[in-house]
A and B are shown apart, each in its own frame.
Chain A
């Protein structure tokens, strides 16, 4: 078999495998509904295990599935709808939202820095971890500004999303939060797009607040990066 046909067949295989695993995980989650059956977590671990057992490289895998990642762009555009639906509520509570985003961004960058220092991680790894709670394009811009490794940052961002979408549910169970703003914002602030998608399953208000917080937190971190950069180097 020519090498080209071979690689195309693998690409089709990975696309199909990912979609099938995702479909099964959706059904399982509907049945069981626990935080550890989250489709993102299950699909991620199952695909990773499959890729390992077949000795696949990232290049082979992404060739067939890159179109899925590309759809994140139009999905971000789609967030205009839930945000527009909740415009009155957002207009009423904009100050609380702004306080939450400033506090959240400070906590996110501060906690990454302190934890990475305590665990004695290398400076480049520590800088790459700083922007992990904002969505990928913002995080990469931040990482470049402060002198991290953008590639590593992208990986950490996605792992944060996977872990955060699951952890958020745990936090909801432990904290008695009365306002839907607090419930939504914790997902948007802590786990960017993945958390926001999860927040939509909690409720419509939570979902749109999470979407707005995600975008604003991303913008805030890109604005903060040039100010932080000289202090961190």
Chain B
């Protein structure tokens, strides 16, 4: 049974994507039913990680489907950004200020996080010897 599923899953990218959608859907339903503040996708990711770690699921079953989804993940964000169409008040000085906060804030977060981690790595590399 396990082998047969593996052979079937390993061949077809669309079947793998369908499998990932099924995991997400099951977890999303569970999260809704229990009213948890965690997104269904994250629960699904943890479930899939647990399945991989336990050896019940092999990497080859999902690797092509997952890279297919992840390669085009940027596209999935676009429709949500169009909510701007319903917020004409943001096309003003306030909107410009919000954009400044977002741009400057994002730069600060990125530079800060990168420097902290880089410093930790250099420190541990020096003390490892």
B60-87 interface with A by 8 A CB criterion: 62-63, 65-67, 69-71, 73-87
Does B75 lie within 8 Å of A186, measured CB to CB? no
User: For the complex, is B33 an interface residue (Cβ under 8 Å from A)?
Assistant: no
Residue of B nearest to A52 (CB): B85
Report whether over half of chain A's contact residues are helix, strand or loop; otherwise say mixed.
helix
A92-124 interface with B by 8 A CB criterion: 93, 96-97, 99-100, 103-104, 107-108, 111-112, 115-116, 119-121
Does A81 lie within 8 Å of B59, measured CB to CB? yes
Does A100 lie within 8 Å of B97, measured CB to CB? no
A120-151 interface with B by 8 A CB criterion: 120-121, 125, 129, 132-133, 135-138, 141, 151
Does B109 lie within 8 Å of A129, measured CB to CB? no
Number of interface residues of B (CB under 8 A): 74
C-alpha spacing A10/B28, complex, angstroms:
29
Does A47 lie within 8 Å of B78, measured CB to CB? yes
Number of interface residues of A (CB under 8 A): 102
Residues of A within 8 A of B25 (CB): 73
CB distance from A96 to the nearest CB of B (A): 4
Given that A75-B76, A182-B121 are known contacts, is A62 also in contact with B82, CB under 8 Å in the complex?
Answer: yes
Does A133 lie within 8 Å of B109, measured CB to CB? yes
Does A163 lie within 8 Å of B73, measured CB to CB? no
CB distance from B39 to the nearest CB of A (A): 3
Given that A80-B48, A111-B105 are known contacts, is A171 also in contact with B110, CB under 8 Å in the complex?
Answer: yes
B93-129 interface with A by 8 A CB criterion: 94, 97-118, 120-122, 124
Given that A108-B105, A160-B106, A193-B73 are known contacts, is A138 also in contact with B82, CB under 8 Å in the complex?
Answer: no
Does A163 lie within 8 Å of B53, measured CB to CB? no
Does A189 lie within 8 Å of B110, measured CB to CB? yes
User: For the complex, is A167 an interface residue (Cβ under 8 Å from B)?
Assistant: yes
With beta carbons under 8 angstroms apart, the residue of B37, B48, B98, B113 that contacts A107 is B113
C-alpha spacing A38/B84, complex, angstroms:
20
Other A-B contacts than A56-B85, A119-B100, A129-B102, 6 sampled, CB-CB below 8 A, are A58-B86, A79-B66, A81-B59, A133-B106, A137-B39, A197-B71
* Partner-A contacts on B (CB < 8 A): 17, 20-21, 23-25, 27-28, 37-42, 44-49, 52-53, 59, 62-63, 65-67, 69-71, 73-87, 90, 94, 97-118, 120-122, 124
* Partner-B contacts on A (CB < 8 A): 18-19, 22, 38-40, 43-44, 47-48, 51-52, 56-59, 61-62, 65-66, 68-69, 71-85, 93, 96-97, 99-100, 103-104, 107-108, 111-112, 115-116, 119-121, 125, 129, 132-133, 135-138, 141, 151-152, 154-156, 158-165, 167-168, 171, 175, 177-179, 181-183, 185-187, 189-191, 193-194, 196-198, 200, 207, 215, 218-219, 222
Q: Which 6 A-B pairs have the closest CB atoms?
A: A76-B41, A137-B39, A78-B66, A80-B48, A77-B44, A65-B79
